[in-house]
Structure 1
């Protein structure tokens, strides 16, 4: 079995970062438009971008670690490698998008407020297209959610981890629901998807899987020692 300690620790951190992100956003109530929000709450929102940027980097490590843990159960699956790559792309885009926004949001929002008039209205109207690489969340939420849902199905089928499996399937579905809410404009879907999934289910799933990965890694030396003991020549 491949080592998964680093991935396990990363999963624990990712879970806490998801919670921290949602909490910061909740204490920054939305204003009349994103430009005003980024002037009013610039420090909090820059912090969110940094958190999500590092979350994306750590998320890639988690995908690889969980894939290593499930390798013997997915080696014959045609779908799982696709979902794995999609999740890596999703986390990579999350990192790129948010590290890119750290400086861009600050400059755009303050420039728009200073110029006013047509410039202000133009930036407000085109804000999502200017700063977001995945405005509706298809890649950073949809792809990642699809992978989490897939892992939930696999753990339900092969591992005796019913709670972990249910958390994965529900959490993945919540992320997908968030995308559908963004696409359809139905706010309640986004609220359920992010409120239930982003704040509760998905973080708990990452933290739980992180604990499992760390425990699995700790068991590896014991397995090797047992094999060596069994292979000792008898006198």
Structure 2
């Protein structure tokens, strides 16, 4: 029962992160399952979080869509290209040492946080649409992001948000909402791959989903408020990513 309670609380945190920055699902869920809930296996934590994050991302997508934050055509092209990459990445990730995955995971997140912090002064074009100019970038960056998301066993929001902004120049609030299309599909691909190998704790996944629903509603509301202040959402995004990266790196290197 204690583990179930900790899983529920972790789900609230994960749902809030997905709602406010469009990412942090598995980035937060994996270390929470390993070090807070005490699941014990890196690959089991990855598979379990992938299932929960997929469902929570879909719920948060509905909230952002209602707020008009989703650029559906750009998001769909990006997501479909990423699914192919995610399938290959998750296959490679399953045969890679768990501790090595966590270290690479942390380094990738640190790089992302620096990039997003440097872009905080850029507003972006809220009227961006799918066209011949951004199509190749959406396909290429989408496939690459999907591969990394699958390899690290994450929904990929922390990679997808900056990827969408680089490919199209859309504002971060639109990238956050649109990223959830890809997070849902990437997570579904990764979750399916791990489930086939029996690397999913279905009870904990269900608990995460329940907590994530509540957290997601709170996160989406906070994202709308922060988006009205120039650069504020970028700073929050970068800070969350970097903090989690440092923690994961410390635990992976057994410094705590």
Tell me the TM-score normalized by structure 2.
Answer: 0.31
The structure where helix makes up a greater share of residues is 1
Which gives a bigger RCO, structure 1 or 2 (Cα 8 Å, sep 6+)? 2
Return the TM-score normalized by structure 1.
0.33
